[in-house]
Structure 1
Amino acid sequence: MSTEAKKCVPDAVVDDSLIAAYLEENPDFFDRHPQLLQHLSVRHQSKGAVSLVERQQQVLRQRVQQLEEEITELMVTARRNEELFRYFSELYVKLLQSRSIDEVMDSLQLTFSEQLQMPALTLKFFDSPLDLEAQFTFAADTHKQLLSKRFQEDSIYLGRLTRDEQRLLFQDENIGSVVLLLLGEQGELGMLAIGNHDAGHFEPAMDTLLVKQLQVLLSLILPPLLNHHETA
């Protein structure tokens, strides 16, 4: 081929991505060319040039450490979930054994305030007997704006409240985030509010399995207790 012809042939372009792809597709490349390992080195930020084998060992050690940390985190989460399940299971039994609204409230306070360190808990009814304690009732129709704003699509709300909404539910308690449960078949019975000082504790993306079960149970056991209170 003449010199002029050679100049017309474009040089093959080999970039890092092509080399990386080739090595991934041919993991036995260095087994077939072991002599190359003697001439390869990898730059390390703190140690300078190290051998490829040593660098591979470092990467593997880092990966093992990362996996150990992830396993530890999963174990901690599993223990916490087991603890939560146990607390809620004990609460369900106590609620089924309750004979009054006060006993229901005592059981809820024990679980959330003492065992789960939730500093604020409120149970309020929308249409309650006239002689029911004030702590279980809303003043006039003050709750209607809260209902229209926080329960447009679901009967459970997780997140933050305005200062006025906090005062409506928790009086002087400074609450960062809440879970609100509407009670009754259509949410007509009342509301359970659980608050935490941490603004990020209750978030919309959280799993609601346990609180949904609690919502269903309270919706079943509270109407007979309210009727009993009214006729007592």
Structure 2
Amino acid sequence: MSTSPTGVSGITEDDIAGYLANNPAFFERHAQLLSTVQLVSPHGARAVSLQERQIELLRDRIKGLERKFMDVIRAGQDNEALSGRLHRWTCTMLLAREAQAIEAALIDGLKHEFMVPQVALRVWGLAPEHAALNLSQTVSDDAKALAASLTMPYCGLNSGFEAASWFEPEVPVQSMALVPLRLGKTAAQCFGLLALGSPDALRYQSDMGVELLEQIGDIASAALARLLP
């Protein structure tokens, strides 16, 4: 006849656990057991009472909840700061009247508010009077096709995109984001490309969220649409 881990033939630890779970009044009838049960503390090899062990578990849970709460607070503060930067940048572009002022507000605002080391912008199909703007420089058909094909901003390593040649040569670009500019949602409505670059290879990664970049693209598109015929 086999003996179970409890030392009692035919009765297993699961049987005991099931009995206690289904009979909560057991410890009311045997209250003295609660003061005699000794458990190993997770903070050392010493033995502690059941009550002390429960208190330790509660303390650990409270510490875990406190850490999660602080993470939520920090995330909220970060989101509030981003919202403030986006608001200031948008207001600056709305206040810009002339074409050159719009271009400067867009590029300089992104560099300043979002601490982007490199920002480049190209727009095609501009009204003839805006042909002298820096953003109206020639763009290849391949770059235009790439911009039109993007259903969301591209984030990743600098893989030799034409847009990388638009950046200032003094600052090397390891990672970049490409944000298509559109009047609507279709490829035919794409009229430009906004490029953001960083010497940090981890600044723009393929698995990062692009919600903020999409908002930046929508706002930039709305502002630059004033330069189209």
In structure 2, what residue type is equivalent to 1:123?
A: L
In 2: Cα distance, 1:56 partner to 1:157 partner? 50
Structure 2 gap ranges (5+): 2-8
Question: Number of aligned pairs?
Answer: 216
Which residue number in structure 2 is paired with residue 188 of structure 1?
190
In the alignment, what sits opposite 1:174?
Answer: 172
Secondary structure of 2:154's aligned partner: strand
Which of 122, 125, 142 is residue 123 of structure 2 equivalent to?
125
Assess, with a 3 A threshold, how the Cα gap between structure 1 residues 54 and 165 changes in structure 2: closer, same or farther: farther
What letter corresponds to residue 36 of structure 1 in structure 2?
A: L
1:103–1:58 CA distance, 2 compared to 1 (3 A): same
Alpha-carbon distance change, 46 to 165 in structure 1, aligned in 2, over 3 angstroms? farther
Partner of 2:54: 56
Q: Which moved more, 1:131-140 or 1:79-88?
A: 131-140
Which of 167-176 and 215-224 deviates more? Answer: 167-176
Match of 2:37 in 1: 40
Matches within 5 A, 1:57-206: 57-128=55-126, 131-134=131-134, 136-144=136-144, 146-147=146-147, 151=150, 154-164=151-161, 167-170=164-167, 172=169, 173-184=171-182, 185=184, 186=186, 187-203=189-205, 206=208
Report the more deviating stretch, 181-190 or 76-85. 181-190
Deviation at 1:202, TM superposition (A): 3.8
Segments of structure 1 that go 5 or more residues without pairing to the other structure are: 1-6, 228-232
- Which letter maps to 2:227? L
Give the direction of change, closer, same or farther, for the CA distance of 1:71–1:175 in structure 2 (3 Å limit): farther
Distance 1:169 1:29 in 2: 77
Mean Cα deviation higher: 71-80 or 92-101: 92-101
Cα distance, 1:85 vs structure 2: 0.8
Contact 1:101 1:226 (C-alpha < 8 Å) held by counterparts: no
From the superposition, tell whether residues 84 and 12 of structure 1 become closer, same or farther in structure 2 (CA, over 3 Å). same
**Distance (whole Å) between structure 1 residues aligned to residue 131 and residue 66 of structure 2:** 59
Deviation at 1:88, TM superposition (A): 0.9
Query: SS of the counterpart of 2:158?
Result: coil
1:215 aligns with 2:209: no
TM-score (norm 2): 0.73
CA distance in 2, matches of 1:180, 1:15: 61
TM-score, scaled relative to structure 1: 0.73
Q: Which whole-Å deviations, capped at 9, do the CAs of 1:44-81 have from their partners, x for residues lacking one?
A: 35242221211211121121112111111111111111
- Secondary structure of the residue aligned to 2:116 is coil
RMSD: 3.4
CA distance in structure 2 between the partners assigned to 1:166 and 1:25 by the alignment: 68
Shift of 1:164: 4.5
Letter paired with 1:103: A
Moved more, 192-201 or 179-188: 192-201
> How far is the alpha carbon of 1:84 from its aligned partner?
0.9
